[in-house]
Structure 1
Amino acid sequence: MSDKTIGNGTLKQHRWVMNEPQIPFSCEQLYCDDNLMVVDKPHFLASMPRGMWYRQTALIQMREKTGNEELSLAHRLDRATAGVLVMTTHKSVRGAYQKLFESRAVHKMYECVASDELARALVNPRRGEQLVQRLNEDGMHRAQFVAVHEGEDARDARRWGLQLSSHIEKTVGIFQAAELGLGDREDADAVGGSDGADGVNSVSMHSVNATTLIAVKPQEQLSEHEKQTLASNPHMAIYQLWPRTGKTHQLRVHMNALNCPMLGDDLYPTVIDRAYDDFSSPLALVARRMRFTDPLTGEERVFHSQIEL
């Protein structure tokens, strides 16, 4: 550690990482103005310094490329997830953009490659009804079919997706997030674990805190690379996902709950221990599109990732 004096005269420790492993991927700049810098973050690159990673992170990489030490993150993406990452170019505007993400005023659409189990249910009414019934009876989920129209062309408003809701909690030190049993909304604050009159521990029930809309990507929107991906993985499909909330690992947890784990997922359904320099199986998940109203200019902002699945 080294000490560095900051604006208010206090000392801030600056961490130096020795012999940090090299990540052979870098961010591509998608957009930049006086307030924003938007990049395409690759798989395997952490958003910000954490653990063994400092220089090999999107934030520090872009600070070094631009020479702008005031670059800050407006939000974060998991190290395993690629796609649109928004940064602010100076500290005075950071709060305004961070509040957008905190208040869920940013419309996000992700894409992933996963088992075609759900895809087959979405095009088969009987299978779809059976899937929704099963999910609603398992005590862990609430599910319904809804029309897909958010950010899509009018012709796509007739296609259907599955909206899946659950309660997700992530415990520090445990790799996987967990879904907990759901109760009635009026019982959302009930605390379980105490002994009942019959001596049996009561079960804590939880309210929904994670909701995702999931639909199959239309065939006419598939790129040639995506068509090749599906040809090489015949029991897979490409999905579009709209998270209504932002819980840790939410998209991966929900796809796994549907028996559709994402291609390359080393956490769900099973934790796979891979070496830090094993780049052979990236998680097939990309933050594809981000849309919001700029809090400073009032302009509609839309950014698209160019990273292929």
Structure 2
Amino acid sequence: MPSPLPVRDGVGATRLHVPLTGSWPTVAAYMVERFFHLDSERLLERFDRGDIVRADGSPVPRDAPLGSVEFVWYYREPAVETRMPFEIEILHRDDHLVVVDKPHFLPTTPGGKFLQNSALVRLRNLLDNAELAPIHRLDRATAGLLMFSTRPATRGAYQLLFEKRQVQKVYEAVSELPGNGTLPAFPVVYRNNIDKLRGQVRVQVDDAKEPNSETLVELIRTDDRVVHTLLRPHSGKMHQLRVHLAALGIGILNDRFYPELQEDLPDDYDRPLQLLARELRFVDPISGQDRVFTTRRTLQEAPVSDA
């Protein structure tokens, strides 16, 4: 469903589904309850200013009865953001595709308290392209290769590559050496069932179900404190690599979710998650060329090569 509002400062309008029936007399009353954490008078003033609109772009008045509109659009009004001290590096750009090196801590798309501090919004503003959209995603904590489509006409062809698992993805991770010094017998293929439940920050693992995720884990090197691994995921479940390494007893350094959920604290930029999207390989669906992209980033805790 297309938005009736244009992209503004790199950020698209938010769409909200409004119940057609319920105990709320008006659309505004529903939104006041739905967004109870916001100042109700400020929200009602947004109706009066015409900031909340229907699919045809017309304003929804404050007294619009519930059931008169099913979807509304509006621009979020986030608190002032302090710019994260990291930059995105563009590695490739053509008429259809932009490939970047995403830093740790920067989310792929806007969400929560992050709007301008997202890879998508920064790139839209930098390249002056409101049609830019991610083809896949990386966790906010993960650094490395991220691909964006520059135009809707060819976007589906690239998205289909990921849906059909025709993109070879390679990651690196650095984990703490287990206390007993015992490592898995590399290379190892790990599989399990991962499900993301609504409202939960961590995924749910169910070993009784048929596996729906798979990762090949290979050893790069170790030293007396860490183990450096190469990861080749066959599937792309949320948090898959973090879950699989934790299950193998080599949870990723600085992971605040796995194996144990830690206290939600402000980001510590000196302690990024030691996970990096290192390489992407695929046959370009538009040009037919073999594409290989490699990150220029490294993991700060990786052991130094003897070479």
TM-score (norm 2): 0.71
Contact 2:79 2:113 in 1 (8 A): no
Contact 1:119 1:216 in 2 (8 A): no
User: How far did 1:18 drift?
Assistant: 3.0
What SS is found at the alignment partner of 2:5? strand
Q: Who is 2:249 aligned against?
A: 259
Contact 1:25 1:42 in 2 (8 A): yes
Q: Who is 1:94 aligned against?
A: 155
Q: Which one of the candidate residues 140, 161, 179 is aligned to 2:205?
A: 179
What SS is found at the alignment partner of 1:77? coil
Is 1:290–2:293 an aligned residue pair?
Answer: no
Kindly report which structure 2 residues correspond to 1:1-309, keeping only aligned pairs within 5 A, or say none: 4=5, 10-11=56-57, 12-117=73-178, 121=183, 128=185, 161-182=187-208, 206-217=209-220, 234-309=224-299
User: How far did 1:235 drift?
Assistant: 2.2
Contact 1:3 1:14 in 2 (8 A): no
User: How far did 1:178 drift?
Assistant: 2.3
Contact 2:104 2:273 in 1 (8 A): yes
Percent same amino acid at aligned positions? 38
- Greater mean alpha carbon deviation, residues 270-279 or residues 294-303: 270-279
CA spacing shift, 1:5–1:54, aligned 2, 3 Å: closer
In 1, Cα distance between equivalents of 2:181 and 2:152:
44
For structure 1, list consecutive stretches of 5 or more residues without a partner in the other structure: 123-127, 129-159, 183-205, 220-229
Would you tell me which structure has more helix in proportion to its own residues? 1
Contact 2:109 2:118 in 1 (8 A): yes
In 1, Cα distance between equivalents of 2:241 and 2:267:
25
Structure 2 residue identity aligned to 1:251: L
Aligned residues: CA RMSD: 2.4
User: How far did 1:236 drift?
Assistant: 0.8
Structure 1 residue identity aligned to 2:79: M
In 2, Cα distance between equivalents of 1:96 and 1:249:
25
Structure 1 stretches of 4+ moved >6 Å: none
Residue correspondences, number: 235
What SS is found at the alignment partner of 2:227? strand
TM-score (norm 1): 0.71
Larger Rg: 2
For structure 2, list consecutive stretches of 5 or more residues without a partner in the other structure: 8-54, 58-72, 300-307
In 2, Cα distance between equivalents of 1:63 and 1:281:
28
What SS is found at the alignment partner of 1:4? coil
